[in-house]
């Protein structure tokens, strides 16, 4: 068959049009001065950190017209070409570069070079290099250990205060200042060099006059970038033992351990209560489950340190308290697998210690049914049975991470796998920090069913986790014999939202005692 002449002519005409059009475009983007592009980068050294995003920016110009911009760093798996003509339909004589790239949280390198190459329409190029280093300082320094807002000193023959301070920074500490107006040598601010590391500890024993008065303690820590954090305390000197609103029970031995948790350490201790329901002055009762023999505990007058108020056992009589830091001994709990009830009077320095067995420890949960097919949801003999469990919940009940039940004490529960707390899995708060966000709740595949639930007494400073059960749902067979728990919810609908500062990011294990209704979130070991 012979070719169609008309088709051949049409094809040639189309090719000619295409060729003419292309030639015209080349003329439009032709050479003006033939010079290389000009590159003005905002910075040629960017400090960042793992898990963060850096941005390369600057102004690029070229009289002939910018065609492409390439950013290249094989170590970071960065190979990006910005096609200016494809994006804008034409080359640009001026372009504001603003390209962001995330650093992997698992990145182990210290520094990288990103090569930026600008190419114009006549193939002239300009190249620049941006150094990316992993030493970015994004956080203010922090006090991991510092005196609380109120400190009380009891007068003695020589009234001293053990000042313990620990500071941290994500990059490099510079210095710290300490001032206590009226007390030498801190009457004027004393500057302490922190050595440039990420952590620094400072201790000193400060002597105060035996005069009933108050002093201000001012602390400031500054990092190498000039970021600073300050703290202020009032130190009161008194001759009378105060009736503290509460004490704290510590089962750890250092101030660093007291401050390493997210919450729960040390344990809140309240006043003893008389038959009329009133607090007994100077008298406190602590309940504590002792997992192993030989546990050492102390009673503290402040939450963050062992100084200045710490009560231990008299060195010669273990029925008496002592607050003499030179001679006192820890209170030793020698019986394992029992609950201790410790009653102390800080006025008379007396102490009584007694135990009671796990079998007498009432719990708001049917712990005997834990991890068994216990919930007959519709009460019809088993159309929908599922295992009774509860645990960490930060979304819907079908997403509960169930606790592991302790083999010795059925009231004691913990998460087998540690929880990771960092900027990726915490809620961002209004001040730019991060918060936890969870309650303790029973598992339910179909949604909210508040048969078993504990919520904190305070969202940001939880000391108790009262039972929050809904008594209208406690009518399922086998669940009606919960003595003392046929009540409405015991407290407000609060979720745990304790702040997690960056210097505490890491893995933590959640523990919960359903008898004591206490929880703690402590570093995983």
377 and 337, same structural domain?
no
Average of per-residue pLDDT values in the chain: 87
Domain end (from 356, 375, 398): 356
393 and 291, same structural domain?
no
**Under 8 Å between Cβ of 139 and 50:** no
In a domain, 251, yes or no: yes
Confidence of residue 175 (pLDDT cuts 50, 70, 90): very high
Q: By residue range, what is the domain housing residue 91?
A: 38-133
The Cα–Cα gap between 219 and 206 comes to 15
State pLDDT tens for residues 287-302: 999 999 999 999 999 9
114 and 51, same structural domain?
yes
Asked if pLDDT for residue 151 goes beyond 60, the answer is yes
Could you tell me the CATH number of the domain that includes residue 513?
2.60.40.3620
Which among 97, 103, 96, 99 is positioned nearest to 47, based on CA atoms? Answer: 103
Per-residue pLDDT, 365: 76
Per-residue pLDDT, 91: 96
Confidence of residue 424 (pLDDT cuts 50, 70, 90): low
Number of domains in the chain: 4
**Under 8 Å between Cβ of 87 and 67:** no
**If you average pLDDT over residues 379-387, what whole number do you get?**
67
In the chain, count H helices and then E strands. 3, 37
The Cα–Cα gap between 69 and 118 comes to 5
State pLDDT tens for residues 252-264: 999 999 999 999 9
Domain end (from 329, 356, 383): 356
Could you tell me the CATH number of the domain that includes residue 148?
2.60.40.10
pTM (two decimals) = 0.75
390 and 496, same structural domain?
yes
Per-residue pLDDT, 310: 95
């Amino acid at each position: 068959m012979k070719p169609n002449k008309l088709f051949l002519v049409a094809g040639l005409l189309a090719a000619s049009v295409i060729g003419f059009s292309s030639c015209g475009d080349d003329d439009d983007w032709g050479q003006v001065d033939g010079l290389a592009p000009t590159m003005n980068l905002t910075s040629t050294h960017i400090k960042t950190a793992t898990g963060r995003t850096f941005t390369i920016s600057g102004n690029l110009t070229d009289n002939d017209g910018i065609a492409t911009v390439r950013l290249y760093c094989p170590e970071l798996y960065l190979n990006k070409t910005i096609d200016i003509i494809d994006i804008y339909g034409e080359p640009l004589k001026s372009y504001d570069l603003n390209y962001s790239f995330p650093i992997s949280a698992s990145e182990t390198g210290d520094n990288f070079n990103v090569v930026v190459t600008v190419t114009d329409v006549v193939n002239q190029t300009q190249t620049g290099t941006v150094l990316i280093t992993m030493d970015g300082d994004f956080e203010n320094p922090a006090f991991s250990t510092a005196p609380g807002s109120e400190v009380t000193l009891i007068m003695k023959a020589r009234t001293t205060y053990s000042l313990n301070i620990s500071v941290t920074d994500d990059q490099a500490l510079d210095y710290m200042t300490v001032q206590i107006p009226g007390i030498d040598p801190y009457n004027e601010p004393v500057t302490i060099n922190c050595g440039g590391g990420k952590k620094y500890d400072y201790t000193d024993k400060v002597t105060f006059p035996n005069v009933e008065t108050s002093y201000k303690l001012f602390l400031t820590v500054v990092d190498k970038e000039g970021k600073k954090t300050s703290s202020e305390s009032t130190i009161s000197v008194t001759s009378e033992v105060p009736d503290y609103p509460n004490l704290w029970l510590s089962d750890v031995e250092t101030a660093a351990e007291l401050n390493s948790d997210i919450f729960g350490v040390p344990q809140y201790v309240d006043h003893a209560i008389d038959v009329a329901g009133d607090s007994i002055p100077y008298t406190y009762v602590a309940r504590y489950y002792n997992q192993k023999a030989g546990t050492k505990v102390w009673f503290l007058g402040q939450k963050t340190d062992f100084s200045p108020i710490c009560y231990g056992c008299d060195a010669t009589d273990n029925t008496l308290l002592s607050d003499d830091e030179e001679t006192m001994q820890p209170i030793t709990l020698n019986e394992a697998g029992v609950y201790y009830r410790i009653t102390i009077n800080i006025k008379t320095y007396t102490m009584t210690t007694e135990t009671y067995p796990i079998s007498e420890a009432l719990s708001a949960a049917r712990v005997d049914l834990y991890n068994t097919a216990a919930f007959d949801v519709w009460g019809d003999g088993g159309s929908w049975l599922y295992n009774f469990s509860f645990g960490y919940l930060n979304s819907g009940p079908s997403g509960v991470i169930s606790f592991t039940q302790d083999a010795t004490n059925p009231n004691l529960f913990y998460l087998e796998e540690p929880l990771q707390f960092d900027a990726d899995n915490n809620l961002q708060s209004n001040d730019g920090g991060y918060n936890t966000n969870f309650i303790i709740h029973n598992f339910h595949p179909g949604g909210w069913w508040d048969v078993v639930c504990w919520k904190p007494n305070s969202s940001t400073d939880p000391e108790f986790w009262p039972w929050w059960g809904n008594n209208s749902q406690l009518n399922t067979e086998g669940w009606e014999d919960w003595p003392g728990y046929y009540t409405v919810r015991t407290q407000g609908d609060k979720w745990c939202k304790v702040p997690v500062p960056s210097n505490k990011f890491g893995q933590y294990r959640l523990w919960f005692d359903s008898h004591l209704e206490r929880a703690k979130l402590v570093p995983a070991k």
